[in-house]
Amino acid sequence: MISPYTIDRKTSRAFRLVKADMNRIFSILEQIQKDLAKMKGTDIEVADQLIGISKNIQKVRHETDTALKEAETAKEEAKEALVEAEDIKKYKPKPIVKTKVVYKKSSKSTKFVAARGGKKFHHPSCPFAKNILPKKKIIFKSKETALNNGYKECKCLLR
């Protein structure tokens, strides 16, 4: 897909070229008109025809002027459309970012784990806690309970 920027750049270039061509045509027409004005005095019949040609030239110039103005308007509209497109991009809803789950060590629901016959109690996420065989696993609801049962805190709980 062509980006809006490319379209803008290409239309700008096209308008510059058209304008340059039109300016060249205008300068040629002006020169012709000047030449015609000089010739007017020579022959009345020729002069009348030349006046007609001159009027036609002016008509053409007016039409090209109008066409250029329309082209300018079109370009302005294209620019506005670009700005609008940019705004739409800006207001595009941001993707929902999942918030990180922060593990709370001191949460009320945290339980402590120890092995029957072991010396220390652990946080459930501690590798030692995970290694405890299910049949040996004891769960304490609080540190106090674990301490009262003769267990000591593992390093995993002191951090």
Nearest 5°: the CA angle 101, 102, 108 is 115
Under the binding rule (CB under 5 A), the answer on residue 114 touching Zn ion is no
Q: Let me know: does 22 contact 60? Beta carbons within 8 Å.
A: no
Q: Which of 57, 113, 115, 156 is the binder for Zn ion (CB under 5 A)?
A: 156
Binding status of residue 50 toward Zn ion by CB under 5 A = no
Separation of alpha carbons 73 and 51, rounded Å: 33
Kindly state the smallest distance separating residue 108's Cβ from Zn ion, in Å. 20
User: Nearer to Zn ion by C-beta: 126 or 132?
Assistant: 126
Cβ-proximal residues to 117 (8 Å cutoff; 6+ apart), any chain: 136
User: Please, which residue, 61 or 111, has the CB nearer to Zn ion?
Assistant: 111
Residue owning tokens 């015609």 = 36
- 113 near Zn ion, judged by CB under 5 A: no
Among 47, 128, 138, 145, binds Zn ion (CB under 5 A): 128
Binder among 114, 126, 132, 146 for Zn ion (CB under 5 A): 126
- The smaller minimum CB distance to Zn ion, of residues 115 and 156, is found at 156
> Quick check: 115 binds Zn ion (CB under 5 A)?
no
Residues in touch with Zn ion (CB under 5 A): 122, 126, 128, 154, 156
